[in-house]
Amino acid sequence: MTSVTDASKLCVGIDVSKDKLDVDWSDDRPPFSTDNNPDGHRRIVQALLPVGVHRIVVEATGGYDRAIVAELAAAGLPVAVVNPRQVRDFARATGRLAKTDAIDAKVLALFAVAIQPPLRPLEDAQTRAFAELLARRRQLVQMRVAEGNRLAQALGKKVRQSIGKVIKVLDRQINDIDDDLNQLIQESSIWKVKEELLTSVKGVGPATARTLLAELPELGTLSRQQIAALVGVAPFNRDSGQFRGKRMIRGGRAVVRAALYMAALVAKKFNPVFRDYYLRLQAAGKPKKVALVACMRKLLVLLNAILRTQKPWRSPYVYS
């Protein structure tokens, strides 16, 4: 397997699982494994600090990666969290079809050298708490919708009463989490200002703003092309020879896209700028779904510019 020996570009890949962390290098240094716990995190930090690592790449694993990423960032180490699909595509493109934790760590290291993914800002304890509350709120809302659907289909009195009691509990839980989120926002002057800036755009409510704050900390720091690709609203060509396929979006952060989707639905109805943009696209023959995705991208680019410039929405808004 090809390796990189330039010390100035030394990169590290860390494959994360629930109980174990596999670490490998872009050069010929021996890989090692350790437990995914505080002792294992300290061992990795101690191994990486003295050697001048250029970049560390970790796959997003739905939560198991958070603790080690926080430890690495707190130690001042350059860490990037990447989409697993990007890494799998890279592995296939370079002919690495076998898959084990150790192999994945080496692939991540070589991916870091070849792609140079952007570094991720440190998630502090408050941000992680905020993200966890938002995730729990989404779970409760999904359960509330499911129970509402069951109530609409239920005929028996006792069943309807049972479902009604569960819905009341879920509503109380959602309200409690909303109170906790409001308190976190009020305690952080930075978040409060950011939420006010984001919600200055008609169509962006508190739920969307808070999702962006928790799930997209890079907002306001990247170019319009980078932020669109990171979220997954930048369409990719699907052409080959004479074939011209439809451009499609893929990858990125699904939670952020879901929030942008709902915001774009509101914006195209009640925000004149987005309503006119949506109607122009439809008049040009774009399907409704394509026009809505374009509104999502336009909204994301706008919000990115608002946080970068620290200027609230003023319609018509000029951004780059």
**For a pLDDT cut of 90, what percent of the chain falls above it?**
41
Structure tokens of 175? 């309200």
Q: What is the pLDDT of residues 164-181, one digit of tens each?
A: 999 999 999 999 998 888
Determine which of 33-42, 108-117, 121-130, 294-303 has the lowest per-residue pLDDT on average. 121-130
pLDDT of residue 4: 45
Report d(CA 46, CA 63) in Å as an integer.
23
pLDDT of residue 243: 39
Q: What is the pLDDT of residues 135-167, one digit of tens each?
A: 898 899 899 999 999 999 999 999 999 999 999
Question: Does residue 249 carry a pLDDT above 50?
Answer: no
Q: Which residues of 248-287 are buried (b: 16+ CB within 10 A; e: fewer)?
A: ebebbbebbbebbbbbbeebbeebebbeebbeebeeeeee
Higher pLDDT, 318 or 58: 58
